[in-house]
Structure 1
Amino acid sequence: MKPNRIKQLSTLLIGLLLAQLTIAQENNFSGNWSGKITIPTGKLEMIFKITRADGKYQAKLDVPKQGASDLPVGDVLVIGDSVSIAVPAIMGTYAGHFSTGDSITGKWKQSGMTFDVNLIRIGEVAALVRPQTPEPPFPYLSEEVEYTNPESGLKLAGTITFPKDAKACPAVVMITGSGAQDRDEVIFGHKPFAVIADFLTRNGIAVLRVDDRGVGGSEGSVSESTSLDFVGDVLAGVDFLKSREEIDPKKIGLIGHSEGGLIAPIAATKSNDIAFIVMMAGPGTVGEQILYEQGALLSKAAGLPDYSIEQQKLTQQKIFEVVKSEADQEKAKEQLRETLSQGMYAGMNEDLQKTIDAEISNVNSTWFRFFLTYDPKPTLSKVKCPVLALNGSKDLQVPVSNLGEVIKAVNSGGNMKVDTVRFINHNHLFQQCETGAIAEYAQIEETIDPEVLKTMKDWILEQTKK
């Protein structure tokens, strides 16, 4: 090879090496990175929000269509042109490499599945639009409070709102749905309990909303408790309201959403201090039946074929049978592993094992075991105070058919003071919707239909006007 050719080649190699070193040095992962996962129902965007401090990268994850914001992220590593991100909260990992300074080619792994996901750097992440979320200043008083459930000894923390110069006004205790919820029942960026409290308080009704056990300022654990335990928390809230000079102790009621609509009637049968109850999508039949209906409706809305829906129900039946028949949770855990893995658990990779164990943890919990077998009808038949039961016609989580079951059960005990309202085109959150699918919750800007708020307010004032 001629000397000039060798010199040219050496220069080229040095130039390429310097270029690669420059790219590696200039790879700055800070910023917002968007990628899309292709799933059967379409594309699901995920946004990693990356910052750097003290030489280390940190991140949070948004999934806008699911209303997930600022999910905690674990280790974030950038080595040369390679990137890896762990998201333990959802058992997911991302790994890729820089294609350019503003694009990354990679894969997302979760629940034993792998998806091609290419990230691109984007500008500011658009904030979720929630126009009904209350903003100060408020034309009423708000106070952070704490009190103790005397049965459990657990401290509970919440917020009470009441009209200025209130004297002997009616009041309600809010009861959240299933899962560990905060006092605002935050879901998909919405704060339904804050919206309800704001509306009712503006109309002369005091409201106490409380963090669930183990959430915010409240002690305890939701998964290790049952709906019966939460009844004690609710009655402690009623006793707290009775101690307030702003509240008429004879005009205290309960508003329960979803599981909260199951808890409210139990509380009403254990205390003579409950003046009324409002059941927002409250169950009227045994939990197992609701879960079968819920599973089928949600799967159909997600576009799954009938044979898949039927197969899902068969799997549910096997799981529920284990939970109902085996009281020992450790023994049940082993049986559930066998059922969910079809006997192949030991040979599965770690991600699949974690996915199965997470599902088992849910269905084998103390809370789930109670909910699965609890039938609200006998309790509803013992409720003597006025009842307002509300449901959306497109509710896929607690189907509107539960309204009929509630009426029959309450009436069977001789209580005719029950009113029901079926809202057309409304989902489980009482938003006006198209299909009722959970995927819509985050996309809808409305937190709760104002007509639903007005219906509750008018009914409560009617019950407490005497």
Structure 2
Amino acid sequence: MSTVRTIFYGFLVLLVTFALPGHSAGLLADTPLDGYWKGPLKLPGGQLEVIFRLVKLSSGEYFATLDVPMQKVSRLAVTVTTRADTVIFLSAEADCRFTGRLLPDKKQMQGTWQQPGFKAPLTLTYSALPTVAAGVKTRLTPPYREENVTLDNQVANARLAGMLTVPAGPGPFPAVVLLSDAGSQDRNGTVGDFGPMGWLADYLTRRGVAVLRFDDRGVGESTGAAATTTASIVSDAQAALSFLRGRPELDQNHIGLIGHGEGGNVALLAAAQLQPPAFVVGLAPYGLPGAEIALHRQEATLASLRTMPDQLAAAIKRQQSIIDVIRQTINNSQARVIVANILRKDNPVLDEATVQARATEMVSTSYRSFLSFDPSAGIVPVTCPVLLLYGSADQTLNVDANMSALTKALKTDKAVTTRKLPGVNHLFQPDPEQWPIVSGQSQPNFSPAAEEAIRAWIMAQVGK
């Protein structure tokens, strides 16, 4: 059995099994799975589109996520395992699965979706990943300079490939580095068909701010092993700042960091180090410890998928018991045995190999690091101006609790601004009613209110 796995810091992982037809091991081996697999999930009273996104990393592993746009569910981690003629996307916590067949045309998977208290047929249809993010697709030449660049992170032995966009004119221009949310992301932070970092980079550069964005380690043209802790990503941000400080067309006194989700936490940690950025913009950064984030996200996700209340409560209790075991049992071998027993008891349909693989994953260094990560720790020394921006429709975070925790941790910094934008979700998309119509269909965009709030705040720092 070969296993390809990605941990999105322990957030809800859905179990998906593709049972392929006879003699299909060769079909599977010859079929790259990276791309989108989309399908309508019929529920009582309507249907929801589910979107699985698979990206093959340079290591040979897959980064996989699940989106349910209508429920504002995005980037749920999917652990991908291949065994003989079977592919498994695992969720021990939620006990959800899709079992289906990869059809001979390699463009569809037919089968059944199952989650606690619900079962329904589902057909997934393949589409290729876009070469560029939504919002920066085929277009006229932009009114600014674009330059493909490479950054050397000697600390992590990684080479980061990215794009620097510089406004027209001689400069010098203020500049920012964009840092993506948790998980392995391309330079546009692509989720489904939406690339928030690409949208934001275009908006800011058109309005006088140079922007550097890059593929995460092991993604796209970047090399290096994926980071296992939030703190270890700080060196990527520092490498990017160092690169911009060597560019004569940029205003060396106004080079900052903009981080989305976990990227916001990385930016704040970098601001607490030597040679900090001139300012930080945090877009929905985490403020509560990882264990609390994991439980909240699972509860919100299961609720959005219309899980029955008693089953939702049981799933949360089960998740809490697993987290307690992992945090209280230092010895990995002992923790793995206990977690495996819990998974075996609560998920009798799982085979032993899958149980062991999942238990090993849940006691890994990266998962332990996420559970113990406290975003408030280590940022007390921050003194630069900080903008903390959240959306009221964010279902990934308890917005008020996370914003309050970070504000408290930054209480010695007298230049902290906080804002909560109405109707904006975790991806900083506005309410769907405000999405633009493209080719007769509404398409997600980056909230114009958020874009302008970020631009105006940056320019206010430049003017001081």
Same fold (TM over 0.5): yes
Amino acid corresponding to residue 395 of structure 2 in structure 1: L
Provide structure 1 residue ranges, at least 5 long, that are not aligned to the other structure.
1-32, 49-61, 76-84, 99-103, 436-442
| Structure-1 residue corresponding to 2:372 | 373
Task: State the structure with more CA Rg.
Answer: 1
The structural deviation recorded for 1:363 is 3.4
Query: 2:408: which partner in 1?
Result: 408
Q: What amino acid sits opposite 1:376 in the alignment?
A: P
Residue segments in structure 2 that go unaligned for 5+ positions in a row: 1-36, 53-65, 91-96, 434-440
Aligned match for 2:144, one of 129, 140, 145 = 140
SS at match of 1:380: coil
Q: CA deviation at 1:343?
A: 7.6
Distance 1:305 1:446 in 2: 30
SS of corresponding position for 1:379: coil
Secondary structure in 2 matching 1:290: helix
Aligned counterpart in structure 2 of residue 182 of structure 1, from 180, 186, 209: 186
Q: 1:330 to 1:44 in 2, by over 3 A?
A: farther
**Distance in 2 between residues matched to 1:262 and 1:209, nearest whole Å:** 17
Partner of 2:164: 160
Q: Who is 1:94 aligned against?
A: 100
Task: Give the corresponding residue for 2:448.
Answer: 450
What is the distance in 2 between the residues matched to 1:344 and 1:254?
Answer: 43
Q: After TM superposition, give the deviation of residue 426 of structure 1 in Å.
A: 1.6
- Shift of residue 192, structure 1, vs aligned partner: 0.5
Among all aligned residue pairs of Structure 1 and Structure 2, give the percentage whose two residues are the same amino acid: 30
Tell me which residue corresponds to 1:194.
198
Shift in CA distance, 185/311, structure 1 to aligned 2, threshold 3 Å: same
3-state SS in 2 of match to 1:405: helix
C-alpha separation in 1, matches of 2:125 and 2:286: 45
CA contact (8 A) 2:158 2:225 kept: no
Q: Count residues in correspondence.
A: 391
Task: Return the offset for 1:446.
Answer: 2.1
Distance 1:326 1:145 in 2: 44
Name which of 233, 239, 247 aligns with 1:236.
239
Are 2:330 and 1:301 aligned? no
Which amino acid in structure 2 is aligned with residue 461 of structure 1? Answer: M
Q: In 2 relative to 1, CA 367–42 (structure 1 residues): closer, same or farther, beyond 3 Å?
A: farther
- 8 Å CA contact 1:35, 1:118 repeated in 2: yes
The separation in 2 between residues aligned to 1:280 and 1:406, in whole angstroms, is 12
2:219 aligned to 215, 220, 228, which one?
215
Residue in structure 1 matched with residue 289 of structure 2 by the alignment? 286
* 1:45-444 matches, cutoff 5 A: 94-95=100-101, 107-108=111-112, 117=121, 132-133=135-136, 135-222=139-226, 225-342=228-345, 348=349, 350=351, 354=354, 356=355, 359-360=358-359, 363-401=362-400, 402-411=402-411, 414-433=412-431
Q: Deviations over 1:239-292 (max 9, x none)?
A: 011111121222111111111111111000013341000110001121112222
Residue 156 of structure 1 deviates from its aligned partner by 1.2
| Equivalent position amino acid for 2:196 in 1 | P
Distance 1:46 1:382 in 2: 43
Closer/same/farther in 2, CA of residues 147 and 365 from structure 1, 3 Å limit: same
What does residue 437 of structure 2 align with? Answer: none
Q: Secondary structure at the match of 1:455?
A: helix
1:377 match: secondary structure: coil
TM-score normalised to structure 2 length? 0.72
Judge conservation of contact 2:41–2:48 (CA < 8 Å) in 1: yes
Contact 1:274–1:385 (8 Å) recurs in 2: yes
Q: What is the rounded CA distance, in whole Å, between the counterparts of 2:364 and 2:123 in structure 1?
A: 37
Partner of 1:439: none
Q: 1:391 to 1:116 in 2, by over 3 A?
A: closer
Change (3 A) 1:185 1:40: farther
Q: Which residue of structure 2 lines up, in the alignment, with residue 17 of structure 1?
A: none
Seen in structure 2, the aligned counterparts of structure 1 residues 179 and 41 have a Cα distance that, compared at 3 Å, is farther
Label 1:36 to 1:458 Cα distance change in 2 as closer, same or farther (>3 A): closer
Matching residue of 2:21: none
Letter of the structure 2 residue corresponding to residue 464 of structure 1 = V
| 1:21 alignment partner in structure 2 | none
Cα drift, residue 181 of structure 1: 0.7
Equivalent position SS for 2:399 = coil
Q: 1:187 to 1:47 in 2, by over 3 A?
A: closer
User: Partners of 2:296 and 2:44 in 1: how far apart?
Assistant: 21
Find the aligned partners of 1:344 and 1:35 in 2 and give their Cα distance.
26
Deviations 1:83-105 (A, max 9, x none): xx96566896534999xxxxx99
> 3-state SS of the aligned residue for 1:270?
coil
1:188 aligned partner, one-letter code: G
The CA deviation at 1:393 is 1.0
Q: Secondary structure at the match of 1:151?
A: coil
Is 367-376 or 300-309 further displaced after alignment?
300-309
How far apart in 2 are the matches of 1:307 and 1:288?
22
Q: In 2, are the aligned partners of 1:86 and 1:92 still within 8 Å (CA)?
A: no
Q: Distance in 1 between matches of 2:288 and 2:110?
A: 47
Structure 1 residues 305 and 92 mapped into 2: Cα distance closer, same or farther (>3 Å)?
A: closer
Q: Which has the higher helix share?
A: 1
